[in-house]
Structure 1
Amino acid sequence: MLFIMYEILNVAFIVFHTVLILFNLFGWIWKRTRRWNLLTLAATAFSWFILGIWYGFGYCPSTDWHWQVRRELGYSDMPNSYIKFLVELWTGIEVSAYTVDLWTGILFGLAMLASLYVNMNE
């Protein structure tokens, strides 16, 4: 029974994190979601850069909790980057951590700029 709960949590974290990342990247496009998008981007930045001071640059509580669930399921080879994990999970393509980190930074920065722009110009 406990194993089933961890499997459900594992899938829930994958879905939640994937949706959050897509919302961070594209939520600024629709007028109704722009404020929420800016909020989630700010929360992500807070987690990466402020909490990261204590837990390591790029820290994410959701990733931390998900890795705990996966350890309970017997996984031990989780990468440092959740994005790397998702890219490999969804595409089956192994990508270097450097490439993933670079594109994560670029796309996050562009999404933040777009969100700030549309929120300030409404």
Structure 2
Amino acid sequence: MRNVLLASVILISGGTIAAQAAEGDAAAGKAVFNTCKACHTIEAGGPNRVGPNLHGIVGRKAGTANGFTYSPAVKDAGYVWDEQKLDVYLKDPKAALPGNKMAFAGLKDDAKRADLIAYLKSESQ
């Protein structure tokens, strides 16, 4: 019985830790966003650069930032950016949306990607 209880505590704790990792840390994500700043801004009303302004990206339909000319791949994606879509895209943009014009090779580190998405989400409100 004691082993079952111990195993249950470990599973519950591990699940909580895994959930926290999946949610990401917005403060850490702000530092990860420094990689994105060469091409993107994030402040409300900020300009587009080589890439679109990312303020409000979470919950926004793909390819719809005002004043930015998107590739047909993004413009015709037909979905709204959510955490899952951003995770897949940011890991490997070319594989996620073939034909898009983002030159970024992708963010392979799962934790950094989760942190970045948490930051983007915090800036989308």
Q: TM-score, normalised by structure 2?
A: 0.27
Of Structure 1 and Structure 2, which has the larger fraction of its residues in helix?
1
Structure number with larger C-alpha Rg: 2
TM-score normalised according to structure 1 size: 0.27
